[in-house]
Structure 1
């Protein structure tokens, strides 16, 4: 890893608190402006549902920039001032119903075990022959490939994030059924997701989320449930969609393997991350989270405004290791939802298969 880090210009590791705050403020301002405009101009009636759908997409897309800014806070990439960093991250993530410290810990585990088939965290694929894999193959057999892929994508994008927070779904199997709000859930000891001091931090995270839920309930009591659904819940669902899309496509595709035991190491896992072409608009709004994610996994303290330079350095220094897939996002998403059902052991790698009985493995 030290060899890899030496290839990245030193200035890429420098954090500028003012610049980070400006980016976070920009994302927040765009989000709030969208909400204020809709509240002032669009009636909350069924006749305007197409407008509210468009509003949800635009505002939820903008709010994803707030999510990414908070994500940088959790990684220590936002500022050298830890108080400012945690205050911004806690506020932004709580407003998006994300338990800040809980996610900070689980996401750090994700970085420390990227593409480890047993100890990874988030989007860990099911192994061929397990109950989870068998259920997916049975559903695919009943529905057919096309309808299965469609329902798989809808389920993952609509429910994947809250289910992960509440049950640890797609988390590493060694950790059991975890819960980001209840630190005592899941395995204990070596593979505990929230060991030691982290239990207290989980409870601290809960305070922020509960406070926001209370504010939403009070708003609904004052202005009506429909208003809250239209102005907040719609964009919230779109933000969750972007979060799941990015994380899923960053670590999953038909030709990206997983590892275990001595076949896995930190550098190998970090380079099993895929940069993709999201285009200038989404790169701006989402602070290049999808197009510079390899560099982020090589070192998560690199601020996003240095990530492009770091990415170019890695691509030049390690062209055989750096992964970039130019496939259009919609096409890549359908391929992942259709073909990446389970992994099977082949040699020292676990590779994806869309066949329940893999002839090579047999």
Structure 2
């Protein structure tokens, strides 16, 4: 029933030689999978397709065209390879002209109301749990449910701070930075550091070397070879089907549980141009020292230190709270929801920019609008859209121009979809199913024409 011991030893030894897989293999072993919450409600005006829904004629036509390429994707999403067929893209001005001008209007009272709603619900849940739930093992399931619900609600605070970082919250910059700094610091996010790295992400969306977050390795790179070798090891030990499933489970845990701290501390999944980065220390060894490639050039270094002040203060506040109320209280009321927030933000960014038939581009083939139109909108349902301010269902427009406030994003999305139906990407697969497809199929990319694709040979 079990492989020889030497096979296990060879497998684990091989795996730890590759840094991006090492953490998972040392810490995880075999782990289970938690299904993402997926209410069956509409995105703007379309229903999410059920798992076994028949493909549309347009999707079938796209798949037939893609199958004629020299190499084709490892699988098809609900897009049917649509993104792989696009070669001409509209200019930024053409897209802006299609969006109603008032979609750029910011309302400080309206933004504050959304911030107050997310913060109020989060604090309300925390106070209610503190008053109602005893810190006893018999209530572990109730505390786990509290963590999931409160973390899901608190993600709305994270999204509001993210909007502040983009300058989409208010024309009052001081107020905007105060709100963003406060909310992000409360969630242990270095506000200005992440503001800068996230701006780099927007400026280089789906760029193979300059991209920032969720940049796939090529099949011939060291990272790509390591990832493929680890999966091959799983397949050898457990068979192809079970091996791929176990490797997919590992990828899920790596991304959702460890992905966010790994990104902040080491720049995990960032493009190779900037090397290893750190959101708390903008100097070497976490900086190239070159203005064209370092993540925090010039005055941004001082903003990193300013972000650190907030994080140290927050950690101090949590430590003081633990000294008064006990570490278990802090872990239950704050730690659980904090981990769930991290899972949500990685899930969103991963699925917004990754799928089996959505490409990346190199420098000579990439431009801003081409990258923006590789962003993917998905069906999160009314509940999550309300709690998370439509961050997952209007993300294409957000990458076209991140200064559009979230409360205008639905209208702007409809306008872009109507004007550019061939370019706008809406992938209707239910979130849990899409997440599993991405974690099991999206490993490494190869060049097909001018695109880098999660490809396989004919």
TM-score (norm 2): 0.77
For 1:201, which of 299, 303, 312 is the aligned residue?
Answer: 303
State how far apart, in whole Å, the 2-side matches of 1:342 and 1:163 are. Answer: 19
Equivalent residue number for residue 141 of structure 1: 232
Equivalences for 1:1-362 in 2 at 5 Å?
Answer: 1-143=92-234, 144-184=243-283, 185-189=286-290, 190-353=292-455, 358-359=456-457
Deviations 1:38-85 (A, max 9, x none): 001101122211001000000000000000000000000000000000
Structure 2 residue matching 1:254: 3-state secondary structure: coil
CA shift, 1:102, in A, is 0.3
Stretches of structure 1 that go unaligned for 5 or more consecutive residues are none
CA shift, 1:347, in A, is 1.1
Structure 1 residue matching 2:296: 3-state secondary structure: coil
Deviations 1:229-262 (A, max 9, x none): 1110100000001100000000000010000122
Compare relative contact order (CA 8 Å, sep 6+) and give the higher one, 1 or 2. 2
State how far apart, in whole Å, the 2-side matches of 1:24 and 1:243 are. Answer: 17
Structure 1 residue matching 2:445: 3-state secondary structure: strand
State how far apart, in whole Å, the 1-side matches of 2:223 and 2:329 are. Answer: 38
Deviations 1:304-360 (A, max 9, x none): 00000000000000000000000000000000000000111111000014xxxx546
Structure 1 residue matching 2:447: 3-state secondary structure: strand
State how far apart, in whole Å, the 2-side matches of 1:209 and 1:38 are. Answer: 25
Backbone CA RMSD of aligned residues: 0.8
CA shift, 1:130, in A, is 1.5
Structure 2 residue matching 1:191: 3-state secondary structure: coil
TM-score (norm 1): 0.97
State how far apart, in whole Å, the 1-side matches of 2:106 and 2:184 are. Answer: 20
User: Which structure: greater helix fraction?
Assistant: 1
State how far apart, in whole Å, the 2-side matches of 1:232 and 1:94 are. Answer: 13
CA shift, 1:142, in A, is 2.2
CA shift, 1:101, in A, is 0.3
CA shift, 1:188, in A, is 2.1
CA shift, 1:152, in A, is 1.0
CA shift, 1:293, in A, is 0.2
Equivalent residue number for residue 73 of structure 2: none
Moved over 3 A (4+): none
Equivalent residue number for residue 39 of structure 2: none
CA shift, 1:111, in A, is 0.4
